[in-house]
Structure 1
Amino acid sequence: MLSFGSTSSSTPSAVNFDHFQILRAIGKGSFGKVCIVQKRDTEKMYAMKYMNKQQCIERDEVRNVFRELEILQEIEHVFLVNLWYSFQDEEDMFMVVDLLLGGDLRYHLQQNVQFTEETVKLYICEMALALDYLRSQHIIHRDVKPDNILLDEQGHAHLTDFNIATIIRDGERATALAGTKPYMAPEIFHSFLSGGTGYSFEVDWWSLGIMAYELLRGWRPYDIHSNNPVESLVQLFSTVSVQYSSAWSKEMVALLRKLLTVNPEHRFSCLAHIQASAQLSAVVWSDVCEKRVEPAFVPNKGRLHCDPTFELEEMILESRPLHKKKKRLAKNKSRDNSKDSSQSENDYLQECLEAIQQDFVIFNREK
């Protein structure tokens, strides 16, 4: 019997697809699509990510989805994109999360937004609070980058996408080569090559430094691409030194240097380091926590900060459009009932689908 994780039984009052009105498609990730939805009873708006079960099985990504759900169900923070509900039907797994309409930082970089030091400093503070919280929950995110930082309409930063996050308990170290290469800390490559002692929470703070540099300058401090071999990257970190812009304040350069320290033992890698730094001595942290510090960059109100082609794709190209789901599932049911189940074309696929159905954890944060 296949199993993907902890078992949960659905209760009659569990939230499901019918409790939401689909408003529009806004994007797609590596193996899921995202749309804006409104919960019918409360009229609250959310983002809903949905992942096709069969595709997840074919790409061997079911465990990743379960892992992400397991993590998201246990955490909640003002600077994270929080999970509110998870549920499933025959075709898809659904995650309903905070709706953030300010777009991600990659989108704004592509729109050539000139981020000021003041703006980037606030992002560093907000992300420092998020990362410190994750550390308290034993979580390494492993994919901090502009694509995974979403802004709300006021311009505050929120970390999303726990697809490759990992949980490490007391004194454990992570060893997997996981992340997006240009943002991955040197010790991840080092550990992979030499089988050393592994790595820990410090890797997320390196990624934060790379991202902060990129926001300020428009390009990253190291010329690293996904196809660079690991050996060459280990060499790179020991030979190339980061060039800081002369236009930046001494304080900002000092802060970036501390985040981009190759040796993790000497790197800024917790909230206490950040709070004690001369560069951020004027920050009123209670105000940051309460979102009382006004961001200098506020996304344009009334503009949806995403690629408009997603909506078209969902309507025209999508073979299983969401708005026709009810009709389709009813049709499938009658087809299934008329088919001799012993003539199943793909037993393994069927077994996997049944395992997902059984192991998927239904979640409702309101309860």
Structure 2
Amino acid sequence: MESEMADAAPAPAVAAAATAEPLAAVAEEGEEGGEAAVGSTLTMERVAAAKKFIENHYRSQMKNIQERKERRFRLERQLESSQVPREQQINLLKDLERKETEYMRLKRHKICVDDFELLTIIGRGAFGEVRLCREKTSSNIYAMKKLKKSDMVVRGQVEHVRAERNLLAEVASHCIVKLYYSFQDSEYLYLIMEYLPGGDIMTLLMREDTLTEHVARFYIAETILAIESIHKHNYIHRDIKPDNLLLDKNGHMKLSDFGLCKPIDCSKLSTLNEDEPMGDDNLRESMDIDSSFSETTNGRRWRSQHEQLQHWQMNRRKLAFSTVGTPDYIAPEVLLKKGYGMECDWWSLGAIMYEMLVGYPPFYSDDPITTCRKIVHWRNHLKFPEDSKVSPEARDLICRLLCDVDHRIGSAGADQIKAHPWFRGVAWEKLYEMEAAFKPQVNDELDTQNFMKFEEMDNAPTRTGSGPSRKMMLNSKDLSFVGYTYKNFDAVKGLKHSDQQRNQSLIRPSIGSIFGPADMDPSREPNGRDKHMHTVSSGDPMIQ
């Protein structure tokens, strides 16, 4: 064991150094009565954290070896079934080895916020902000999500944050926003993700009021594939709404914002009783709603679809970026806190589909508590405006999504929904290959016109260290996020390397130039069949 520790990378030594001084400090305090018990607890926490750190390190080493073998095997299998000349095959294999070397170098590099040039803020919510950034070494453009660690601990969001990071690291799909890096410093957590400049479905709906059934069908279909991909990993999203459906520059949709994503064991869920009456106190407890948020005209009956649409649009942005948020897409079983499964995401899909075709959510009220009450008692409130032009097939699908959980379509899997008549003729396996139903205006890679404008909170943001200091005592905030760091193999593809510059005269074919981006996509089988979801062995110690 001692020889293994000696041969290991310096990461375990960091854990030992981070633990040694706290242990000594606690030993000195051990003579002082009541403080001894506190010190003992802290010592146990730090020892457990160091143990976890070391275990994660060795688990990561084993997974790194395995995933490297898998990447080599996949490329060799593709080359065998291709018409690529032998010389080009050798060059492609060498190119892969070069990338593997760069990836090993990247794994050893301690990423920090100083590696990125911080640009425009494109999103801000209750728990953090999202900012456009440029990686200094590669000039690649990313979206940086920044979360304050102390807020996550105080507000009980630690598991949610870890679940979001785990899912993004675990799932590779056309339909899910790609995570390139995750790291932390002494104050913040960071997620570096692909930047999707097309904005979100919420912005599209605010611009268009309603979508045609053709456009709505396209984006509902892509949303189904996204939900299916996370369900296959036994995750549920719980917060699917138009704000979280982002568009790339070509208009294709990707699911994002997994802050409420939760791994679920459906076999342990209790039976739900949706008919249980619910008082204001229960509603506030479930949604953490501030009663001061409510507007006037509570309970008003709208006389026309146009008037309802105008009022919804007037309040939409305020609800989206408030600390309260909007409950319009949340399933009744989630509000009732009676236990719920993956079916709750299909309810959200139905609410989004209704909004796309009608112009506002089915249970909208200017008061979040009233909205919750309408959702819980959906049988009395699910109605279509008399002047709406929703087809019978679309109405049927919406009603089969917005119903009790035992009869909800999709409860037996996404194929149930795909088989609905409203999707007749949809080429599910080619959705992400065809032209999107809507193409946003994007002028360049730094274009943010499809996002809201946000002011900087501080003129001179405080700089923080690149991680918990080895000389500082670890606290509960640090212990909560042991193993948070992640680096995606795809991050090496855009890096500029000195060895490439030295060999500019030697022009080699790239993997993408021979097979095309579709053939090399990790979410596709060698025969070109789109799986929509593919598990990638990420070498990630947080994913068990």
Measured against the shorter chain, the TM-score band is 0.7 to 0.9
Amino acid at match of 2:452: D
The aligned residue for residue 421 of structure 2 is 278
Aligned mate of 1:300, from 416, 419, 441? 441
Structure 2 residue 168 is matched with structure 1 residue 72: yes
Structure 2 residue 135 is matched with structure 1 residue 12: no
Aligned length: 336
Question: In 2 relative to 1, CA 26–170 (structure 1 residues): closer, same or farther, beyond 3 Å?
Answer: closer
The CA deviation string for residues 120-178 of structure 1, in whole angstroms up to 9 with x for no partner, is 10111111111111111111100111111111111111111111111113523288957
The aligned residue for residue 257 of structure 2 is 161
Matches within 5 A, 1:38-77: 38-77=134-173
Structure 2 residue 123 is matched with structure 1 residue 27: yes
Aligned mate of 1:242, from 383, 394, 398? 383
Name whichever structure is richer in helix by fraction: 2
The CA deviation string for residues 190-212 of structure 1, in whole angstroms up to 9 with x for no partner, is 5x3xx4xx221111011011011
Where 2:219 maps in the other structure, the secondary structure is helix
Question: In 2 relative to 1, CA 257–294 (structure 1 residues): closer, same or farther, beyond 3 Å?
Answer: farther
The aligned residue for residue 199 of structure 1 is 340
CA distance in 2, matches of 1:241, 1:67: 33
User: What is the deviation of 1:233?
Assistant: 4.5
Structure 2 residue 503 is matched with structure 1 residue 354: no
Question: In 2 relative to 1, CA 14–113 (structure 1 residues): closer, same or farther, beyond 3 Å?
Answer: farther
CA distance in 1, matches of 2:160, 2:194: 20
Structure 2 residue 410 is matched with structure 1 residue 265: no
Question: In 2 relative to 1, CA 365–202 (structure 1 residues): closer, same or farther, beyond 3 Å?
Answer: same
Q: Percent identity?
A: 29
CA distance in 2, matches of 1:239, 1:248: 20
CA distance in 2, matches of 1:86, 1:275: 34
User: What is the deviation of 1:360?
Assistant: 4.1
Amino acid at match of 2:146: Y
CA distance in 2, matches of 1:199, 1:18: 42
Where does the alignment leave 5 or more consecutive residues of structure 1 unmatched? Answer: 342-346
Where 1:57 maps in the other structure, the secondary structure is helix
The aligned residue for residue 116 of structure 1 is 212
User: What is the deviation of 1:99?
Assistant: 0.8
CA distance in 2, matches of 1:37, 1:353: 26
Provide the alpha-carbon RMSD of the alignment.
3.3
Question: In 2 relative to 1, CA 241–49 (structure 1 residues): closer, same or farther, beyond 3 Å?
Answer: closer
Structure 2 residue 333 is matched with structure 1 residue 187: yes
The CA deviation string for residues 13-49 of structure 1, in whole angstroms up to 9 with x for no partner, is 2433233222322221221111112223333221111
Matches within 5 A, 1:74-153: 74-153=170-249
CA contact 1:66–1:360 (8 Å) conserved in 2: no
CA distance in 2, matches of 1:159, 1:105: 11
Where 1:134 maps in the other structure, the secondary structure is helix
Matches within 5 A, 1:266-345: 266-269=408-411, 270-288=413-431, 291-302=432-443, 304=448, 305-308=450-453, 310=454, 313-314=455-456, 317-318=457-458, 321=461, 325=463, 329=465
CA distance in 2, matches of 1:258, 1:354: 45
CA distance in 2, matches of 1:353, 1:207: 33
User: What is the deviation of 1:230?
Assistant: 5.8
Structure 2 residue 216 is matched with structure 1 residue 216: no
CA distance in 1, matches of 2:374, 2:114: 51
Question: In 2 relative to 1, CA 232–17 (structure 1 residues): closer, same or farther, beyond 3 Å?
Answer: closer
User: What is the deviation of 1:80?
Assistant: 1.2
Amino acid at match of 2:198: G
Aligned mate of 1:251, from 393, 417, 427? 393
Question: In 2 relative to 1, CA 232–125 (structure 1 residues): closer, same or farther, beyond 3 Å?
Answer: closer
CA contact 1:14–1:364 (8 Å) conserved in 2: no
Question: In 2 relative to 1, CA 35–233 (structure 1 residues): closer, same or farther, beyond 3 Å?
Answer: closer
CA distance in 1, matches of 2:121, 2:373: 41
Where does the alignment leave 5 or more consecutive residues of structure 2 unmatched? Answer: 1-41, 61-106, 273-284, 288-324, 490-537, 539-544
Amino acid at match of 1:42: S
User: What is the deviation of 1:223?
Assistant: 3.0
Greater shift after overlay, 241-250 or 25-34?
241-250
Q: TM-score, normalised by structure 1?
A: 0.80
User: What is the deviation of 1:240?
Assistant: 2.6
Q: TM-score, normalised by structure 2?
A: 0.55
CA contact 2:327–2:372 (8 Å) conserved in 1: no
The aligned residue for residue 344 of structure 1 is none
